[in-house]
Amino acid sequence: MTERHDFDLLVIGGGSAGVRCARMAAQRGARVALAEAAALGGTCVNVGCIPKKLYSYAAGYAEAFVESAGYGWDGPPPTLDWKRLKQARAKEIGRLNGVYGNLLKAAGVTVLEGWAKLDGPHTVSVGGKRHSARHIVLATGGMPHVPDVPGREFVVTSEQMFDLDPFPRRLVVVGGGYIACEMASIFHGLGAEVTLLQRGGGLLAGFDGDVRRFIASEMGRAGVEVKLNWPVEAITRHADGSLCVTSAHGSICDTDVVLYATGRKPLTAGLGLEAVGVALNDQGAVVVDADYRSSVPSIFAIGDISSSKQLTPVALAEAMALVDTLFGDGKRKVDYDLVPTAVFTHPNIGTVGLTEEQSRNEFGADDVEIYRSDFRSLRHTLSGSQERSLVKLVVRKSTDQVLGLHMVGPDAGEIVQGFAVAMRTGATKAVFDSTIGVHPTFAEEFVTLREPAVDD
C-alpha cells in the first residue's frame, strides 16, 4: 500500500526556483506546499537582481544629466533624493512580493510561513508543526560570505546596501566579482566616492581576459579607484563612526561604509540536512545528480543551493525540469552550455559562450581566431564622455563556429540575449558576416568585424 502524505511536494524556499517549482507542480495537479520564512521572491526580487537593476537605472540618470550638456541641454545639476529612491524601490518590491503570493494562491499552493527544517526523508517541521511529503525540494538559495577578517562586525554585505542610512559619501568595496563591480559602479554613479579593493590581480575571475582588463580600465576612467593585489587585513572604527581599512600596502581611512562582496555560499545551515543524510560538497552546496536528486532519494535541490551556475534564469529552468521529472514525462532537461549573462557595471558587460582562454585550452591556440573592436560610441561624440566600448568574437578556425561573444558597453545584456539564440543554433562567423547590420547601432559591430585581431 502506498504511504499517504500531506503533500505530493513540499518546497523549502520561496525564491525564483522554489516559487516556479511549486506553482508548476500545482498546475499539474499535485498537492503542493511551500515554506518560506521571509518575503516571497528570494534574493533576486528582494535584495538582488531587481533592486540592483533599479539602482543601476538611477545611477544612469546621473550620467545622462552630465552628458546632456553636449546635446544642448542646460540647467542646474540635479541632486539625488536617496530617501525617495529607497521608498520607490521598497514599494515596487512590495508589489512583486504580492504578485508571487497571488501566483501561488491561484495555483492552489499552500504557503507555510516560518523556518523549515527536515525531520526525516519525508518530513518537514515549520513553526513547530510537522508536514509530510512524497517529495521535498530544497530551494533556499544562497547568502553573502564574509571571511573571518578582524573588524568584520563593522562591514555590510550587498543585502544591506539598498537601505543604507544615510547615503554613504565614501564607500570601500572589497571584492572583485560581479556583485562588487556592480555595486562600485552603481554607488559611484549615485554620487559616492568609491574605492574597490581586490586581493587578486584582476576583476571578474572567469570572464574573458579582454573584458576583465577593459572594465577595470573603464571603471577607473569613470572615477572608481580600483586597487588590485590589495588584500584586506583589518577594519577598524574611529570614535566618529568612520572606518579604516588596512593591508600590508597601507590604509584607506575615513570611509563611511565598507561593503564586503567576496562571494556567496549556499544557504544550508539550520535545515537539518546533516541529520537526514543530505550530502554537501566542499563548497557547502547540496550534491545532486542529473535529475537534481540528492543523496536522499526523496529530497531534491535546485537553484543556488546546488547549481554551479548561480543565475536566476538557470534556477527557473532547473525548477521546470524537476517538475517535468516528478510530474511529467521527464524529457525536459537543462542545457548549461551557452548560458548568456550580464554584469550591470557602468558600462554594462554581456557575454555568452567560451572565453578566449577557455577556447584555446579546449581546441588549441592555433585553432582559435579572435575578432575584436574597441571604440568610442556615436553617443559620446557629442556627450563629452570618454567612455569606450568593446566587442569581441571568439571563433574556431576549423569549423568557423562562433564559440564566444563578449561585449562591454551600453545595454550589453539586451544585445547579447539575441546573439545567444543565434549561437545556440551553431552560428558561424560566415553567418555573422552575411547578416546586414542595423545602422547606426552598437550591435552592428558584431556583424562588421572582418579582420582577425593581432595581439601585442
Q: What is d(CA 189, CA 271) in angstroms, rounded to the nearest whole number? A: 39
Cα-to-chain-centroid distance, residue 336: 16
Do 12 and 139 touch, CB atoms closer than 8 A? yes
Point out which residues pair with 405 in neighbouring strands: 352, 393
Cell of 159: 543585502
Do 260 and 175 touch, CB atoms closer than 8 A? yes
Q: What is d(CA 348, CA 346) in angstroms, rounded to the nearest whole number? A: 5
Which residue in the list 145, 346, 380, 439 is annotated as catalytic? 439
Find, among 136, 55, 56, the residue nearest to 300 by Cα. 136
Residue 80 CA neighbour count, 13 Å, CB half: 24
454 CB burial (10 A radius; 0-12, 13-18, 19+): exposed
Q: What is d(CA 167, CA 116) in angstroms, rounded to the nearest whole number? A: 35
Find, among 403, 356, 346, the residue nearest to 207 by Cα. 356
DSSP collapsed to 3 states, 273-334: HHHHCCCECCCCCECCCCCCECCCCCEEECHHHCCCCCCHHHHHHHHHHHHHHHHCCCCCCC
Q: What is d(CA 404, CA 208) in angstroms, rounded to the nearest whole number? A: 9
Query: What's the Cα-to-Cα distance from 448 to each of 191, 391, 434, 452, rounded to whole Å?
Result: 37, 11, 9, 12
Neighbours of 429 (CB within 10 A): 20
* 439 a catalytic residue: yes
Do 337 and 377 touch, CB atoms closer than 8 A? no
Cell of 226: 580600483
Q: What is d(CA 387, CA 136) in angstroms, rounded to the nearest whole number? A: 50
Tell me which residues are annotated as active site.
439
